């Protein structure tokens, strides 16, 4: 009896160390899933946002991230008439970097590369752009959204325009 027990322990250890049938057939374990793209961290931006100021109503809407892109649009109303609109994108570009792409009414498209990204803020910049050179979105603790555009003004001084949005259903 003791003789049999002496061989069982080493035999059991060897069986545990041998590769399974998949390995024996040349199969490898599946690779780990790829890291989620950084755009997923902007899911908080998705939804409808509104700002009313100085007789103007600005609505900005963002679709949830999917396929490496978020699509958005904005509309500005004054006295019940549309006075401006903008088509927006945040998309994964070359090398995995995020880009904010904006096409305001009557203007050419401009792209801004991600400068910093956290769970509540995204800052994009394009130093070659006249104004703005920086665009940022910040989710505030009270659930509101602060969007800002910043860059040199006509006098050379830094100019900052802020849009404080509330989320609407």
pTM of the predicted model as reported, rounded to 2 decimal places: 0.78
pLDDT, residue 31, reads 76
Q: What is the CATH number of domain 38-168?
A: 2.40.128.20
> In this predicted structure, what is the pLDDT of residue 18?
46
d(CA 22, CA 15): 15
Low-confidence residues in the chain, pLDDT < 70 = 1-26, 32-36
pLDDT of residue 11: 43
Delimit the domains of the chain by residue range: 38-168
Contact 163, 50 (CB under 8 A): no
The pLDDT value given to residue 25: 60
Cα 87 to Cα 167: distance, rounded to the nearest angstrom: 19
Angle at 152 between CA 88 and CA 109, to 5 degrees: 25
């Amino acid at each position: 009896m003791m003789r049999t027990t002496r061989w069982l322990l080493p035999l059991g250890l060897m069986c545990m160390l041998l590769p399974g049938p998949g390995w024996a057939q040349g199969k490898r374990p599946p690779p780990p899933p790829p890291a989620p793209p950084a755009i997923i961290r902007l899911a908080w931006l998705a939804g409808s946002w509104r700002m009313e100021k100085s007789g103007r109503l600005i609505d900005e809407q963002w679709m949830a991230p999917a396929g490496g892109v978020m699509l958005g649009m904005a509309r500005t109303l004054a006295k019940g008439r549309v006075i401006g609109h903008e088509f927006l994108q945040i998309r994964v570009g070359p090398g995995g970097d995020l880009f904010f792409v904006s096409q305001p009414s009557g203007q050419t498209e401009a792209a801004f590369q991600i400068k910093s990204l956290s769970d509540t803020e995204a800052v994009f910049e394009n130093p070659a752009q006249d104004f703005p050179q920086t665009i940022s979105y910040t989710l505030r603790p009270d659930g509101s959204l602060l969007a800002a555009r910043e860059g040199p003004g006509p006098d050379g001084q830094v100019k900052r325009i802020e849009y404080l949005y509330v989320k609407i259903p």
